[in-house]
Chain A
Amino acid sequence: MALFEIKSGALVTLQELHPSSPFFKQGASLRITGKLHAYSLESGIATIIDGDDTLKVSTEHLRDLSFRVGSVYQFIGELCIEPENEVKALLILLYLARTLGYMRVLQARVGRNVDGIDLNLYHQSLLLLRQFQANHLNNPAT
């Protein structure tokens, strides 16, 4: 049924979103969590950080969500990675894109404020969850 063809947003940390990561794919559905570092009202682009890692999030499709720098947000959406060959042809845009950090953008379809979340517990639980899921899928009968 068409309504449920949208994929689940895989739980990832910003640290895991590097080019060699299995999550780093064009159109990958992801759920990311981080602190709002900056927000542009004009472009609707939010920059979230987790430690030293940052990610741009396009919030143009989100409504009823107010942005406050310093608050923690969680977004579910699709990863958009600019293709290198096209960027080469648009050298100026490439420069601008890199300057602005637009090389990878999460096109958010869902977002929420999660101020008060225990990020340490979140990261530890994520590891536990992945381990459980891997064991279950590898050995469903035991």
Chain B
Amino acid sequence: MEKKNPLYNTHVKLLAFDLLSLSQHSPDSFSRRSIPLSRAETLGTVTLRDHKPNTFLRFAIDDGTGCVPCILWLNHLNSPYLARRRSPQDVRLIADLAARAAAVVKVGVVARVRGRISRYRGAVQVTVSDVMVERDPNAEVLHWIECVNLARNCYNLLPHPSSSSFLLHK
């Protein structure tokens, strides 16, 4: 019986040290303990911010176990790639969402970031699709517990891709 990889295209909650140690097999292919992953969720304190208006916002999320580099693209309105594939209304909507996300990312806030796992200059980074600022002072602690729990009781228990019960469906 075929079984899909439940983690592919899922925003997998990982601690920074775990996310930063993913294996890479090709430019867009990452895996954790041989399980392919494409998206991740991280939560921590914003410790760095580098903003180039209408181009990108780079920032770092420090969760106490590592610093996750994140990039939020802000170049949608002048992207020929998007212009060919999306309607002008869609592009405007995407650009507005990104600009709103960029506005809330400030040094010192705790942010929950979701996005695609990518690589820049040899290091894992997150290409951001969604940012949410956490106001609950216990949010980071709860994230640690959730990450540990998910790793122990879910991610680590998935069958190895080479086993017969596991077939990857992208």
Contacts and interface: CB of A to CB of B under 8 A. Distances in A.
Interface residues of A, number: 37
A109 B46 CA distance: 11
Interface of B: 15-18, 21, 33, 45-48, 50, 58, 60, 62-67, 69, 107-110, 120-121, 123, 136-138, 141, 144-145, 148, 151-152, 156
Contacts of A110: 45-47, 62, 107-108
Interface centre among A4, A11, A117, A142 (most CB of B within 10 A): A4
The binding surface of chain B is classed by DSSP as mixed
Interface in A121-138: 121-122, 125, 128-129, 132-133, 136-137
B21 A11 contact: no
A38 to B, nearest CB: 21
Nearest to A123: B141
5 contacts: A3-B69, A7-B67, A129-B65, A132-B151, A137-B17
Interface string A54-98: 000000001011000000101010000000000000000000000
Contact of A6 (B67, B121, B144): B67
A3 to B, nearest CB: 5
Contact of B48 (A6, A72, A140): A6
